[in-house]
């Protein structure tokens, strides 16, 4: 750290996909770079994260990383760390935690590792290596929610080794097209109510239970349409499930959409039916857009959606209860708007990009100060 209080940080993300974690990596790097901090991002070549960093003028070091035991990647990264001399290495994925932690070993910079998922570190990896990795390979862990921190503590990670810094999102840009135009683009009937969810179509997101919940909304005078914005490995299975339930004409798939703002603003209600979730940045986007939210009572979601105050919660994997929660907000539009406004206020106050950046800067400063004090 320089005398002016600026930081030199190296951020590592091993994922080729574009999901919430990659977006958070970009938002943090973007904020640090704009604030005058020397920032570099290590990520797979030709990945979405690399392209978006370059678009924002953030220096990128493309690196092929084939798993966490890639000795070639570790060696190259180690040479970069010697050349770049960062104050701190910030790893944003589980594999990055190992690669970055080993690469910086003995070279001076601190290592901070991000933990985004609300399940035990012992669910994957080996019983001996994994605990060592989380207790010794990084100097400090960042949990994106209190629930993620509690799980880490349950795995015998010392509480003073963990800091909670929630994900943060900027205000959504103005929609590029109107809700009517957006519906027409995907041949969604303009009449009737539209509920939807944004994110990768993967098993843990629980979309199948949202499709099943749609069958319990047939009693409504206006047909409820469902749109799933995103792509992923479960798309075919979800489409087949909708067809089997006779819901195929009411379930719409848009694929990946870069214009998320127009998608969310087209919805009457946002639904996040996750089976597990560290926090849920798509929920934050929906709240920023002042959309009423129904979400699963799992992981870090209840820290954002307080049932009856900023939205409605339902048990995970329970289509009947999920439909009841959706029904209650569709029936009470005035109450739904009140919840949406409270949710928007909570998202703006506690889950902004500014809060994300400031939280990380405060942690960096504290850890580097402790490092200097220990070297005296």
What pLDDT shows up at residue 209? 98
What pLDDT shows up at residue 126? 73
What pLDDT shows up at residue 1? 40
Tell whether 237 is covered by a domain: yes
Prediction pTM value: 0.94
3-class DSSP assignment, residue 67: coil
3-class DSSP assignment, residue 121: helix
* Tokens encoding 191: 């009449």
Residue ranges with strand state E in the chain = 8-12, 38-43, 60-62, 88-91, 110-115, 140-143, 162-164, 193-198, 224-229, 251-255, 269-272, 293-296, 312-314
- Assess whether 326 and 195 both reside in one domain: yes
- Assess whether 368 and 336 both reside in one domain: no
- Assess whether 241 and 366 both reside in one domain: no
**pLDDT tens string 111-156:** 999 999 999 999 877 777 888 999 999 999 999 999 999 999 999 9
Measured at the alpha carbon of residue 146, what is the angle toward residues 140 and 150, in degrees to the nearest 5?
75
* Tokens encoding 44: 């797979």
- Assess whether 49 and 59 both reside in one domain: yes
- Assess whether 331 and 184 both reside in one domain: yes
What pLDDT shows up at residue 76? 97
CB 101 within 8 A of CB 111: yes
Cα–Cα distance for residue pair 282/276, rounded to 1 Å: 14
CB 5 within 8 A of CB 32: no
Cα–Cα distance for residue pair 211/213, rounded to 1 Å: 5
What pLDDT shows up at residue 376? 58
- Assess whether 239 and 304 both reside in one domain: yes
Cα–Cα distance for residue pair 278/6, rounded to 1 Å: 30
Tell whether 103 is covered by a domain: yes
Tell whether 314 is covered by a domain: yes
- Dihedral sign for Cα 212, 316, 165, 155, please: negative
- Assess whether 230 and 341 both reside in one domain: yes
Measured at the alpha carbon of residue 211, what is the angle toward residues 209 and 215, in degrees to the nearest 5?
105
- Assess whether 356 and 219 both reside in one domain: no
* Tokens encoding 242: 């909708």
Tell whether 3 is covered by a domain: no
Tell whether 174 is covered by a domain: no
Please report which helix (H) or strand (E) contains residue 54, including its range.
Answer: helix 48-55
- Assess whether 70 and 42 both reside in one domain: yes
Contacts of 290 (CB under 8 A, 6+ apart): 337, 340, 341, 343, 344
CB 232 within 8 A of CB 159: no
Tell whether 320 is covered by a domain: yes
- Assess whether 58 and 145 both reside in one domain: yes
Which residue range forms the structural domain that includes residue 234?
A: 179-350
Measured at the alpha carbon of residue 330, what is the angle toward residues 324 and 333, in degrees to the nearest 5?
135
What pLDDT shows up at residue 2? 39
- Assess whether 158 and 183 both reside in one domain: no
Contacts of 38 (CB under 8 A, 6+ apart): 6, 7, 8, 9, 86
What pLDDT shows up at residue 159? 97
Mark the ranges of the chain whose per-residue pLDDT is less than 50: 1-4
Cα–Cα distance for residue pair 128/77, rounded to 1 Å: 25
Question: How many Å from the N-terminal Cα to the C-terminal Cα in the chain?
Answer: 16
Residue given tokens 């790893």 in the structure block: 91
- Assess whether 75 and 224 both reside in one domain: no
What pLDDT shows up at residue 326? 98
Q: Write the DSSP string, 262-283.
A: HHHHT-SEEEE--SS-SS-HHH
**Number of domains the chain is built from:** 2
| Residues listed for the chain | 376
Tell whether 173 is covered by a domain: no
Residue 321 belongs to domain with CATH number: 3.40.50.2000
Tell whether 125 is covered by a domain: yes
CB 77 within 8 A of CB 58: no
Residue given tokens 């506690």 in the structure block: 350
């Amino acid at each position: 750290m320089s005398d002016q209080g600026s930081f030199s940080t190296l951020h590592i993300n091993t994922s080729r996909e574009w999901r919430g974690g990659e977006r958070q990596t970009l938002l943090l790097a973007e904020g640090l770079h704009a604030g005058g901090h020397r920032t570099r991002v290590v990520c797979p070549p030709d990945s979405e994260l690399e392209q978006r960093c370059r678009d924002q003028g953030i220096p990128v070091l493309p690196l092929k990383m084939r798993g966490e035991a890639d000795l070639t990647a570790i060696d190259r990264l180690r040479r970069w760390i010697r050349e770049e001399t960062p104050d701190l290495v910030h790893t944003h994925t589980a594999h990055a935690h190992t690669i970055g932690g080993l690469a910086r070993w003995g070279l001076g910079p601190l290592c901070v590792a991000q933990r985004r998922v609300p399940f035990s570190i012992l669910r994957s990896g080996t019983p001996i290596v994994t605990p060592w990795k989380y207790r010794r390979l990084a100097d400090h862990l960042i949990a994106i929610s209190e629930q993620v921190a509690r799980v880490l503590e349950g795995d015998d990670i010392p509480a003073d080794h963990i800091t909670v810094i929630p994900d943060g999102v900027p205000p959504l840009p103005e929609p590029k097209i109107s809700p009517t135009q957006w519906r027409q683009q995907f041949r969604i009937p303009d009449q009737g109510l539209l509920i939807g969810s944004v994110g990768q179509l993967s098993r843990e997101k629980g979309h199948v239970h949202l499709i099943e919940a749609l069958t319990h909304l047939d009693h409504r005078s206006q047909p409820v349409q469902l749109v799933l914005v995103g792509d992923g490995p479960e798309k075919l299975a979800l489409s087949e499930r909708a067809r089997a339930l006779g819901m195929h004409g009411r379930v719409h798939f848009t694929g990946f959409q870069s214009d998320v703002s127009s998608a969310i603003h087209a919805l009457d209600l946002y639904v996040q039916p996750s089976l597990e979730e560290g926090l849920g940045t798509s929920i934050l986007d929906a709240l920023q857009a002042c959309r009423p939210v129904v979400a699963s009572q799992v992981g870090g979601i209840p820290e954002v959606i307080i049932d009856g105050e900023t939205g409605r919660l339902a048990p995970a994997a329970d289509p009947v209860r999920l439909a009841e929660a959706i029904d209650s907000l569709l029936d009470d539009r005035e109450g739904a708007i009140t919840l949406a406004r409270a949710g928007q206020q909570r998202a703006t106050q506690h889950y902004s990009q500014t809060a994300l950046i400031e939280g990380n800067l405060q942690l960096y400063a504290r850890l580097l100060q402790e490092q200097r004090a220990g070297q005296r």
